[in-house]
């Protein structure tokens, strides 16, 4: 997989995580009751995803599936 494709996939993953991180603020700003089952479920999933992406082992996992960029020395690849 080319470096550009890796960066695109990682950017999409980071966007999902950023949305998950911002979801509680979005819910609060919209005035949606947090006690609604679907809102509570979405907030729980967002919190879990954010926590998982913060783990150092995530980079190792991305390396295993071919999305790691830490050892990329050829920028044209």
Given a contact cutoff of 8 angstroms between Cβ atoms, the answer to whether 59 and 68 are in contact is yes
Residues 6+ apart with CB under 8 A from 50: 17, 20, 21
pLDDT tens-digit map of 47-76: 787 777 768 888 788 788 877 766 555 555
**Pairwise pLDDT comparison (68 vs 6), residue with the higher score:** 6
Could you give the angle at the alpha carbon of 47 between the alpha carbons of 51 and 13, nearest 5°?
65
Dist CA 74 CA 12 (whole Å): 22
The token pair that represents 30 in the structure block: 């919209």
Given a contact cutoff of 8 angstroms between Cβ atoms, the answer to whether 17 and 50 are in contact is yes
pLDDT tens-digit map of 21-40: 788 888 889 898 877 888 78
């Amino acid at each position: 997989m080319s470096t550009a494709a890796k960066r695109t996939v990682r950017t999409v993953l980071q966007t999902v995580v950023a949305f998950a991180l911002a979801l509680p603020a979005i819910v609060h700003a919209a005035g949606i009751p947090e006690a609604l089952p679907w809102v509570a479920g979405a907030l729980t999933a967002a919190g879990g995803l954010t926590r998982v992406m913060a783990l150092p082992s995530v980079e190792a996992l991305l390396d295993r599936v071919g999305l790691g960029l830490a050892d990329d020395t050829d920028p044209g690849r």
